[in-house]
Amino acid sequence: MPEYTVRTDLAVEARELSLGGAEEIEGVAYNRSEVNGNIIHFMEVLDDNGAKQIGKPRGKYCTIEIDSLTERHSDGFEGAVNVLSSEISKIIPLDRKDGCVLVVGLGNRDITPDAIGPLAAENTLVTRHLKEHLPEDFAAFAPVAVICPGVLGTSGIE
In SS3 terms, 70-85 reads as HCCCCCHHHHHHHHHH
- Within 13 Å and on the Cβ side, how many CA atoms surround 132? 9
Helix (H), strand (E) at residue 151: none
pLDDT above 80 for 31: yes
Report domain extents, the chain. Answer: 1-91, 95-158
| pLDDT at residue 140 in the model | 86
- Residue-level pLDDT at 96: 65
pLDDT at 95: 66
The pLDDT value recorded for residue 77 is 80
Please tell me the pTM assigned to this model. 0.72
Can you give the pLDDT at residue 154? 64
Mean pLDDT of 39-63: 92
Can you tell me the mean pLDDT for 6-35? Answer: 85
Q: How far apart are CA 35 and CA 118, in angstroms?
A: 25
pLDDT confidence tier of residue 155, bands split at 50, 70 and 90: low
Q: Provide the pLDDT confidence category of residue 115 given band limits of 50, 70 and 90.
A: confident
